[in-house]
Amino acid sequence: MKVSVVALVAAVATLAAAPSFADAKSDAKTQVEFGINVAQRGLWREAIYRWQKATEIDPTYAAAYNDLAIAYEHEGQLDKARKAYEKAIELDPNNTQVRQNYELFKEINDRTTQGKDK
Amino acid sequence: MTGPHRAKTSSVALAAVAVCCAAFALACGPDYYEIPIETPIQPKMDVTPFQRVLVVGFVAGGSEDVDANQETVRLLRSQLRTKSSLKVIDADILQLIDVAREQGAATPANAPDDVTSGATPSVRPSQTFALPKDIKDEKDLEPYERLFANTAYWKRIGEEFQNPLIVTGTVLFSSRSTSGFVQRDQETYDSLGRRIVRPVRTYMERKGFILQPKFVFIDGRTGATMYSERYREEILYNAQQNTPALSSYFELMDRLVPNFLSALSSQKIRGTRVLLK
């Protein structure tokens, strides 16, 4: 009897949490889409704000980190870009598009550091 | 009568499904967007105290087909003229090999800035001898590095040209030949006319060139080195291909010039990335 009550409570809690989790995912996606929209118009700072928000809402959203990394790269904030790319790859290691973006980024980043003697 | 009717019904149904799929795809939109970006690269050193730049000359060696000193000075001056805010000083190109040899011969054995200070005077002649006239490899270049540490000499050059930023260094442009297996794509067509590309390993003899410059940036006001960087680029061709040394030199320099410029002026690097939904 006691076990079935616990199971029931757990089931109710899971069902209650599910919509809010779905809402969070949906909110994060909305932020990412809005960020893409403004980035395409050249409003990169607004895009950064949106994608940062998306990663706060859903810290497992690899695409948001990828987009954020691109925006940081565009703004010349290379350290932040590298961290964001690495996070995106950590979350979605098989995503070839993220990897390709990261490889292109590394090429530029290496250019700023290579050859340096002192 | 029923046969054609049924066929017509099924094709209408298929068309309807196709239209629905297309509408769904359009409503969802693509999951990725290609976007052009421009990455700004900050200069590696602060050149704001300078209005003028003097590419003075290089200690150069390697292949005799190219005068690496003359060509490097000419190329860097023209690049700086168009791609930096500094005014480029047109002056005679110095033969730094001769300058270094003269300094080696003139410096007293007990000079305070001499790296061999403490050495007995008898060491002196062999040290002068240590500056080879013909520079063939990196080892031959090493003794010339002392020249860039001679602050008094560079300060004097700086005073002569009203304290500019001085660009100098070493350039080694040498030929190279190698042989071994290389992988290349082979294109074939199958019986249906389809193009098939397969990687194949073939033995090849190749020859080409290696370019190893070291750029040294000196403060003309103090004669001190502000920053230096070294690079290595290589190009290899099929042994049958006869590519002139000078065009190989320019091809290799072309790869390095953006790095050189990024040391003293901010650059924007254009590219494309993929935004994801």
Q: Where are the domains of chain A?
A: 25-113
> CB contact, 8 Å: B258 with chain A?
yes
Which amino acid, one-letter code, is at A100? Q
Query: Could you read off the pLDDT of A56-97 as tens digits, one per residue?
Result: 999 999 999 999 999 999 999 999 999 999 999 999 999 999
Query: Could you read off the pLDDT of B229-258 as tens digits, one per residue?
Result: 999 999 998 878 888 999 999 999 999 998
Mean pLDDT within B52-69: 93
A25-113 belongs to CATH 1.25.40.10:
yes
Could you report the predicted ipTM of this complex, rounded to two decimals?
0.81
The predicted pLDDT at position B268 comes to 85
Q: Please give the Cα distance from B22 to B212 (Å, whole number).
A: 57
- How close A36 gets to chain B, by Cα (Å)? 7
Contacts of B37 in chain A (CB under 8 A): 70, 73-74
Confidence of residue B5 (pLDDT cuts 50, 70, 90): low
CB-based contacts of B70: which residues, under 8 Å, 6+ apart? Answer: B93
Most confidently predicted of A51-55, B125-129, B189-193: A51-55
- How close B41 gets to chain A, by Cα (Å)? 6
Determine, for residues B33 and A36 on separate chains, whether the beta-carbon distance falls below 8 Å: yes
Tell me what the pLDDT averaged over chain A comes to. Answer: 86
B33-96+145-178+204-276 belongs to CATH 3.40.50.10610:
yes
Q: Please give the Cα distance from A60 to A91 (Å, whole number).
A: 6
Mean pLDDT within B22-30: 56
Q: Where are the domains of chain B?
A: 33-96+145-178+204-276
> CB contact, 8 Å: B121 with chain A?
no
Q: Which residues pair with B184 in a beta bridge?
A: B200
Q: Is the dihedral of CA B132, B133, B134, B136 positive or negative?
A: positive
B1 has a pLDDT exceeding 50: no
Spell out a b/e string for B171-202, using b for 16 or more CB atoms within 10 Å of the CB, else e. bbbbeeeeeeeeeeeeeeeeeeeeeeeeeeee
Confidence of residue B119 (pLDDT cuts 50, 70, 90): very low
Q: Please give the Cα distance from B273 to B254 (Å, whole number).
A: 24
Report pTM: 0.65
Contacts of A113 in chain B (CB under 8 A): none
Query: Which has the closest alpha carbon to A95: A87, B89, B144, A46?
Result: A87
- How close B245 gets to chain A, by Cα (Å)? 24
The predicted pLDDT at position B107 comes to 58
Q: Please give the Cα distance from A95 to B24 (Å, whole number).
A: 24
Confidence of residue B27 (pLDDT cuts 50, 70, 90): low
Spell out a b/e string for B148-167, using b for 16 or more CB atoms within 10 Å of the CB, else e. bebbebbbebbeeeebbbbb
Backbone angles phi, psi at B33, to 5 degrees: -135, 125
Contacts of A68 in chain B (CB under 8 A): none
Query: Could you read off the pLDDT of B132-182 as tens digits, one per residue?
Result: 778 888 888 888 999 999 999 999 999 999 999 999 999 999 988 888 888
Q: What radius of gyration, in Å, describes the C-alpha atoms of chain A?
A: 19
Determine, for residues B277 and A32 on separate chains, whether the beta-carbon distance falls below 8 Å: yes
Query: Which has the closest alpha carbon to B133: B97, B107, B105?
Result: B97
